[in-house]
Amino acid sequence: GEDVEQSLFLSVREGDSSVINCTYTDSSSTYLYWYKQEPGAGLQLLTYIFSNMDMKQDQRLTVLLNKKDKHLSLRIADTQTGDSAIYFCAERNQGGKLIFGQGTELSVKP
Amino acid sequence: EPEVTQTPSHQVTQMGQEVILRCVPISNHLYFYWYRQILGQKVEFLVSFYNNEISEKSEIFDDQFSVERPDGSNFTLKIRSTKLEDSAMYFCASSEAPTGRGNQPQHFGDGTRLSIL
C-alpha cells in the first residue's frame, strides 16, 4: 500500500545544515513534496521534485531523490531559529491525493 | 499571495450534532481537497472534488461526511452526526489544474480545529 515514513525529531545548532529524511513506498508517485508547519498554522508548501529528477535546489533548500531506494531528503543550509517547525514529506499518487509522512519536528538551538 | 482561507479556526460541538467547516479556495483553482490530522497522527486524505463532484474519497469519508460547493467560492465539509473520534484538525486545500497536467501543487489553509465533546 501507500506509505510515507519520516523520523520524528531532529535537533541542530543555528548555522548548521539540517537533513530531513523520508521514505515512501509507491513507485508510481509523480511528484514528491515538502511542506512546513509552524505552530498554529497550516501546511506551507516549501518545495517539490518531479519523480524523474535526482536533485532540486531552491535557495537554502536542496531536495535529493533516490528513486531506486524510494528515499527523499530535504537539506536546509545555514539553518536559522526561524526554521524551527514540523516538516512533512508527501507523495502524490496517480489520482492526485497526497500521502503524508508523520512529520519531522526540527528544533534549532542558538 | 493568494491564500486558502478556512473558518472557523476552532469549532467546539456536542457529539451527535452536525458541523459544517468552511473553506474559500484560491479563486482560479479547480481542484479542492479535505484532509484531517488527528492529534499526534499523520495528515490523512479525506476527499477530492472537481467539476462539482467527488473525484476520490478515502474509507474515512463515510456516509456521515459530505462536501459541497454551494456558491462558486465556498467549499464546505459537513459531518452529519459527529463522534468523539472526529476531533481533529481539518485542512482544506486547492490546486490550479486537474491532476496529471503538470505539477499543480496543493495549497493549504490554516485548518479548523474541531473538538467534539
**Model pLDDT for residues B31-72, shown as the tens digit of each residue:** 999 999 998 889 999 999 998 999 999 999 999 999 999 887
Residue A94 pLDDT exceeds 80: no
**Cβ pairs A/B, distance under 8 A:** 66
Q: Of B45, B54, B57, B112, which to mutate for an interface test with A (greatest number of A Cβ within 10 Å)? A: B45
How much is the mean pLDDT over chain A?
Answer: 92
Of B10, B8, B6, B13, give the one whose Cα is nearest residue B35: B6
- CA separation, residue B51 to residues B2, B25, B58 (Å): 21, 14, 19
**pLDDT score at B99:** 53
Asked if B108 reaches chain A (Cβ–Cβ under 8 Å), the answer is yes
What gap in Å lies between CA A34 and CA B30, rounded to an integer?
Answer: 22
Partner residue opposite B45 with nearest CB, options A31, A40, A98: A98
Which grid coordinates belong to B54? Answer: 467527488
Instruction: Give the pLDDT mean for B6-23.
Output: 96
- Given a contact cutoff of 8 angstroms between Cβ atoms, the answer to whether B65 and B77 are in contact is yes
Q: Is the pLDDT of residue A9 over 90?
A: yes
Q: Answer whether residue B90 shows pLDDT above 80.
A: yes
Q: Give residue ranges of A with CB < 8 Å to any B CB.
A: 4, 30-31, 33, 35, 40-45, 48, 50, 88, 90, 92, 94-103
State the sign of the Cα–Cα–Cα–Cα dihedral B63, A95, B29, B6: positive
